[in-house]
Structure 1
Amino acid sequence: MTDTVDARPVASLTFVRPPVGNAEEALLLLTRAAVEQGYALSTLPEAVVDRERQHPTGLPTPLPCAIPHADASHVRRPGIGLLLADRPLEFREMGSKDRTVAARLVVLLLVDDPTRHVGLLGGLVRTLQRTDLEEFLTTDLAGPDDLAARLTAALEDQAGTSV
């Protein structure tokens, strides 16, 4: 994503079909991993869950997803966490008070510079609009490293450059 952000998918923050029962459990798994690995402050899990309640991030893209995030003040260094759910997780749809999205992919944005948030989000949403994205990300998926690498490749392809 040409000079918009340093954030990229991180394999150690990527989960493939983890045992989570709902959206909040998915958020806590991702955010706690970010804290444990030094990507975020201990305030991140609560901040992301609270923000998701106030400002939902579910998107009815071809591969239904959610893009949770929190204010940059909770982030130590940029990155992207991923969770590919075994079964859809119910997230409220972005911009809606009553619609939900059965998300299969959760993309945690860890942005430490608020001026770069919009650029990252825009590139990510364009990538998530790909009609072949689910097949590209999931066919013969070998695990978390593979998922992180595949999303990186999709972001690079969308941007026409290296992430």
Structure 2
Amino acid sequence: MIVFIKGIFCFILLLSFLRGFKKLSFLWNRFPMCTQLIPGWSFFAPTPNTFDYHLLYREINNQEVEEWQDLYILKEKRSIYSFFWNPEHRFTKAFVDLAVDLINFSHAAQDKRQVYISLSYLQILNYVDSLDHKPSSEKMQFLILTNSRVHDYKVMFLSDVHPISKR
């Protein structure tokens, strides 16, 4: 019985290994339900992130528009202990996922009003709204920029102007 169970695990491991080869995709396309049961392993992501995302916001008070302030910058250097302890990783992952979702949805949406009620838009808006704002500020706006080592800064999303909630 133990030999049988070991054989099944070895077979699944072999199929999982073979699933990584692109030339065998015809086999996986022929049996799509079976591939759901076979794990796919890859060391690198299929589409790695090649851009840095920046979250900026500005406050508006009495028709005076403040300068953009950078809220989130991806750190180039991390501490040596970040492999074991990196509390900023969750925020980084959450922000990048929200930014990518918001950018993709804003390009795909037929009606721009749908973007303003999307989950990613509302979560970023809530985060910006929860910051300490100047008492004289009445409204705010946020912006998502991208850049890479090859490309310069590019505006990917500009929000609408929203009132600041007084807490």
The structure with more radius of gyration: 2
Q: Greater relative contact order: 1 or 2 (C-alpha under 8 angstroms, separation 6 or more)?
A: 1
Normalised by the length of structure 1, the TM-score is 0.25
Normalised by the length of structure 2, the TM-score is 0.24
